[in-house]
Structures are given as structure tokens and as C-alpha cells.
């Protein structure tokens, strides 16, 4: 007497044994896929709170070098590939300014936004831009600082148009004119926020006194200043003021304009048009003495089986719970390297070793030529 094979009520008529095997295989595949998704999520750059309800990825992206200042810029397609990879890795804030490339950088970001409308609509992409540096039309580095109300409103409209957005997520005063009234400047920005043209207000390279005065007019979400092992001046009064007021901090040039990567031991490694050729820290004897500091950074990197750049980024991220860094790069491999730094936790002994090595007295040369210091620490 023959017996029919048992069939499961799945509508496909698959014999029970075969069905069980297929079901087990499907469960295994699903488990693998979920594990991959979980690992990808865990490896994504985490977000950190800044100020005034604004959040950004611990490693965010400084786009300036995609337009100028570091030799011949890449073509837009290459830059867009790097920006898209950054987004995939969890980078949420992309930093630009109206002066970068005389508008090119903002137009590049507009192309990037056009390629990722879903992520933008879901709040996964935040755009930060700046105003206040009025460049000389005949000299690429000469500039003046303009914070007049009319200039601010005009600059905002220009950035909105170039970016192709209805609202700027974070709008910075790029440099403060020491002769201007910061209260008046903040009042204009508060008005732009009320109009819905900007969402959050930031300041760049200001003194603690200016920061506190501005914050009394309207909450400052973020202060952006140069900060790295190579440039630690903000530790004296700026970071304490940010902590006290609950203001976020964005560290630009967290790799010391590439110096902390260990790639640059001579200006011969810099291309034509690279502004570091005129940077005092990269000059002659200054550079030779500064390079000697990198031995400690290299030793710490070897301990953690990572790169010098990753150690430098991990260090700066550890300095304040409301701090994010905006290293720039033109390379997909470098953005992957930078983002991985967010997963590195340095031991306190190594943090102290680095800080004892990179003290102000051991660093040779100013961080900018004289022209670049216009509006800084105002």
C-alpha cells in the first residue's frame, strides 16, 4: 500500500522534508543578511548632539578642498563619488562656504543633494555653509571681513540659490569683523531663522567673550574653529565656554591640513597652487622640527593597529562630548579611513602622551599667514 508524501499547506506542493530544508536555508540566509545589516549599522559613523537641538555625525565632511586651496581640484564626478561614499558610511553633515571656489563648492554640494533626494528628505543630510569673508576679485587669498546686515541677507540668498535648497541647516558667520556689533549680526541671523531660511546659527573662530555675548541674543548651535593635536589654542577658553553654555564644537583641520597623517615631510610633496606652500608651519626649518613630533603619533598608531590620521581624529573626538570633526579628503579610501576613526577609543595614558608631546612650545610656525588670520579670535 503506497502512502502519499505529506504536503504542507503552503500552496506549492513541496514535500515536507524538502520544504523543511528550504525553510532552514531561508532562515539561515535571512540571519546572515540581518547580521550584515547590523554590522553595517554598527560600523556607521555615530551621531553626536551639538547645540540648540542640532545633531551631526562624529566624523562629518569638510568639502573646501574639492574646489581649491590644495592644488588642482578634482573633477566634480570624482568629488561626488567621495561625497556619496561618505553618506553611505553615515556622514550626515557636509560643510561648505560661499567663498570656497567662489561659489563652486556650494554648487557642487547642490549636485550632491540632487543625487540623494530621499536621504535629504529624511534628514540624513545636513548642509552647513558660511558667510562673512569677502574675497578680492583679483587676488585668490586677499580678503576683507563683511558682517553688515545687507551683506548677510544678500549672502544668504546667494547660498540658498547655489545650494538649491529652501533652508540652510546650519549658517555660520565665517569670520567676525571686530568693528561690527555681534549683537546686530545675531539679530539679523535670528530674523533669517524666523523667516525659515536658516535652521541653526553658528560662529567661526571667535573669542569666548564674543561667543557668550552672541549667545545672549540667540542660541548659538555650533562654534567652528581649528582644532587638532597641532593646534590646541581653543582649550584655554573656547572649549570651556562651549561646555558651560551647551554649545557644540566643530573642529576643522583636525588632521593639521594633512600634516598629522605623516604624508608631508617636505613642501616638494605639495602641488602647484597648494596654499600650504605659504603656510608658516610647512616652511623649511619649521616643518623639519614639526615632523619630529610625529614619532609619538606613529608609535600610538602602531599600538592600536591603525593609521596616524585615525589616532589624531580619535584624540580630537575624545575632547568634548559635543564635538565633531570635519576632515576633508578627495579620496574614497581616505573617507573610509577617517570614518573608521570614530570607532577607536584611546586609553587615557595614550591621550596624555600625545598631549605632552604636542604642546604649544614644541610647535613651530603660525597656523596661518597674516592674511588668513583676519577675523580670527575676534
| Segment 100-126 mean pLDDT | 96
- Determine the Cα–Cα distance for residues 375 and 89; give it in Å rounded to an integer: 34
Average pLDDT, the chain: 89
* Model confidence at 43: pLDDT above 70: yes
Which residue in 178, 63, 175 sits closest to 130, CA to CA? 175
Q: What is the pLDDT of residue 345?
A: 97
85 domain residue, yes or no: yes
Q: What is the pLDDT of residue 23?
A: 64
| Segment 286-299 mean pLDDT | 95
- Determine the Cα–Cα distance for residues 358 and 296; give it in Å rounded to an integer: 9
Q: What is the pLDDT of residue 40?
A: 44
User: Could you read off the pLDDT of 54-93 as tens digits, one per residue?
Assistant: 999 999 999 999 998 888 889 999 999 999 999 999 999 9
| Segment 292-297 mean pLDDT | 96
Write the DSSP string, 20-87: HHHHHHHHHHHHHHHHHHHHHHHHSPPEEE-STT-EEESB-EE-GGGTSSBSSPPPHHHHHHHHHHHH
172 a catalytic residue: no
Q: What percent of the chain has pLDDT over 70?
A: 86
**Domain span at 357:** 55-373
Which residue in 257, 254, 263 sits closest to 277, CA to CA? 257
44 domain residue, yes or no: no
| Segment 350-374 mean pLDDT | 86
20 CB-side CA count, 13 A:
4
Q: What percent of the chain has pLDDT over 90?
A: 73
| Segment 301-322 mean pLDDT | 98
Q: Strand runs (DSSP E) across the chain, as ranges?
A: 47-49, 55-57, 61-62, 93-95, 126-131, 133-135, 143-145, 170-173, 201-204, 222-226, 248-252, 323-325
C-alpha cell at 30: 535571512
308 domain residue, yes or no: yes
First and final CA of the chain: distance in angstroms?
Answer: 98
255 domain residue, yes or no: yes
User: Could you read off the pLDDT of 204-233 as tens digits, one per residue?
Assistant: 999 999 999 999 999 999 999 999 999 999
Q: Which residues contact 47 (CB under 8 A, 6 or more apart)?
A: 55, 56, 57, 58, 90, 92
**DSSP SS3 for 122:** coil
Q: What is the pLDDT of residue 39?
A: 40
| Segment 118-133 mean pLDDT | 96
37 domain residue, yes or no: no
* Model confidence at 38: pLDDT above 80: no
User: Could you read off the pLDDT of 227-280 as tens digits, one per residue?
Assistant: 999 999 999 999 999 999 999 999 999 999 999 999 888 877 887 888 788 889
User: Could you read off the pLDDT of 188-198 as tens digits, one per residue?
Assistant: 999 999 999 99
Number of domains in the chain: 1
Q: Name residue, grid cell 545650494.
A: 163
H/E stretch holding 120: helix 117-121
* Contact between 167 and 197 (Cβ < 8 Å): yes
β-pairing verdict for 93-95 and 61-62: parallel
- Determine the Cα–Cα distance for residues 29 and 116; give it in Å rounded to an integer: 29
Q: What is the pLDDT of residue 20?
A: 64
* Number of residues in the chain: 378
Output the domain CATH number for residue 356. Answer: 3.20.20.100
Give the pLDDT band (50/70/90) at residue 18: low
8 domain residue, yes or no: no
147 domain residue, yes or no: yes
Q: What is the pLDDT of residue 368?
A: 77
Name the active-site residue from 70, 100, 171, 320: 100
Q: What is the pLDDT of residue 29?
A: 59
13 domain residue, yes or no: no
Q: Which residues contact 179 (CB under 8 A, 6 or more apart)?
A: none
Amino acid at each position: 500500500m503506497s502512502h502519499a508524501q505529506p504536503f504542507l499547506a503552503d500552496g506549492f506542493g513541496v514535500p515536507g522534508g524538502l520544504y523543511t530544508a528550504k525553510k532552514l536555508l531561508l532562515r539561515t540566509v535571512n540571519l546572515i543578511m540581518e547580521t550584515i545589516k547590523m554590522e553595517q549599522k554598527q560600523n556607521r559613523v555615530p551621531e553626536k548632539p551639538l547645540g540648540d537641538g542640532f545633531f551631526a555625525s562624529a566624523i562629518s565632511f569638510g568639502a573646501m578642498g574639492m574646489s581649491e586651496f590644495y592644488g588642482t581640484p578634482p573633477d566634480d564626478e570624482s568629488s561626488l563619488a567621495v561625497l556619496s561614499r561618505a553618506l553611505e558610511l553615515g556622514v550626515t553633515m557636509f560643510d561648505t562656504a560661499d567663498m570656497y571656489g567662489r561659489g563652486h563648492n556650494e554648487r557642487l554640494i547642490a549636485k550632491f543633494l540632487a543625487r540623494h533626494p530621499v536621504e535629504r528628505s529624511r534628514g540624513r543630510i545636513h548642509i552647513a555653509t558660511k558667510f562673512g569673508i569677502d574675497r578680492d576679485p583679483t587676488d585668490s587669498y586677499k580678503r576683507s571681513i563683511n558682517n553688515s546686515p545687507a551683506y548677510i541677507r544678500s549672502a544668504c540668498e546667494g547660498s540658498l540659490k547655489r545650494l538649491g535648497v529652501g533652508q540652510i541647516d546650519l549658517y555660520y558667520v565665517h569670520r567676525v569683523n571686530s568693528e561690527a556689533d555681534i549683537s546686530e549680526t545675531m539679530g539679523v541671523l535670528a530674523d533669517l531663522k524666523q523667516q525659515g531660511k536658516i535652521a541653526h546659527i553658528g560662529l567661526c573662530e571667535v573669542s569666548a567673550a564674543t561667543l557668550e555675548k552672541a549667545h545672549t541674543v540667540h542660541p548659538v548651535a555650533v562654534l567652528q574653529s581649528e582644532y587638532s593635536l597641532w593646534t590646541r589654542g581653543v582649550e584655554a577658553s573656547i572649549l570651556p565656554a562651549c561646555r558651560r553654555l551647551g554649545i557644540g564644537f566643530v573642529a576643522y583641520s583636525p588632521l593639521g591640513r594633512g600634516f598629522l597623517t605623516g604624508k608631508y615631510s617636505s613642501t616638494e610633496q605639495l602641488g602647484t597652487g597648494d596654499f600650504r606652500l605659504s603656510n608658516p608651519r610647512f616652511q623649511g626649518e619649521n616643518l623639519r622640527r614639526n615632523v619630529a613630533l610625529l614619532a609619538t603619533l606613529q608609535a600610538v598608531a602602531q599600538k592600536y593597529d591603525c593609521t596616524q590620521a585615525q589616532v589624531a581624529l580619535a584624540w580630537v573626538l575624545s575632547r568634548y562630548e559635543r564635538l565633531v570633526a570635519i576632515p576633508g579628503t578627495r579620496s574614497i579610501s581616505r573617507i573610509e579611513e577617517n570614518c573608521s576613526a570614530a570607532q577607536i577609543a584611546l586609553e587615557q595614558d595614550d591621550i596624555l602622551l600625545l598631549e605632552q608631546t604636542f604642546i604649544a612650545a614644541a610647535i613651530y610656525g603660525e597656523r596661518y599667514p597674516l592674511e588668513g588670520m583676519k577675523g580670527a579670535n575676534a
